[in-house]
Amino acid sequence: MSEPEEFLSRTLDPRSLRGLAHPLRIQLLRALRRHGPATASQLAERLGESSGATSYHLRQLAAVGFVEDDPTRGKGRERWWKAAQQGTSLDETIHRNPDPEVQGALEVFLFEMATIHTQELNTYLGTRHDWDDDWQGASDMSDFTLRLPIEKLRELTGKVHELMDSYRDSADADAPDAERVRVHLHAFPQQED
């Protein structure tokens, strides 16, 4: 059994958020995190973009530390990129940042994340019959409505993140029947009807 790779996450600050907040940049970073190192041309083909566009946006991501060269790959002029971290989180203070550019970048980032989550869920629902019954029975699509003050919501979110981290470091990741599992967490206030 191999040692689990350390999970590196990046907390967004105003500068890194502005550098990431572009739909293609988010897609590029997601592709590198999900599929591993690739060239700009490979990413262009995967995402249906031009290699000029992917190359430009990869350089922009590198400038703010989201991607980096992969020196273990490539020959000659071929440049391979890899994700510098496996996860991204938002610092709570970014929501209160008064800079309109930061707020615009936050809107792009949040809406792109919501779109990705919706696409992933729809893909699963469209392909769920490709999985055996045990996997279908183990998957979950629940929702809960709670009445909580702000601090209790922070506590709940923190505990869920701790729980996710404990499963990420599990030795069961190398089990013969282990599969990649996506877990989405959405916790937000809702107006009473």
* Confidence at residue 1, expressed as pLDDT on a 0 to 100 scale: 37
* Confidence at residue 2, expressed as pLDDT on a 0 to 100 scale: 40
Number of neighbours of residue 39 by Cβ within 10 angstroms: 19
Q: Identify which has the larger pLDDT, 66 or 168.
A: 66
Rounded to whole angstroms, how far apart are CA atoms 7 and 92?
21
Rounded to whole angstroms, how far apart are CA atoms 118 and 111?
11
Is 54 within 8 Å of 47 (Cβ atoms)? yes
DSSP state of 43: H
pLDDT, tens digit (0-9, with 9 covering 90-100), for 67-89: 999 988 877 678 999 999 999 99
* Lowest mean per-residue pLDDT among 4-8, 44-48, 82-86, 116-120: 4-8
Residues 6+ apart with CB under 8 A from 86: 7, 8, 9, 33
* Confidence at residue 4, expressed as pLDDT on a 0 to 100 scale: 43
Using DSSP bridges, classify how beta strands 87-90 and 67-69 pair: parallel, antiparallel or unpaired: unpaired
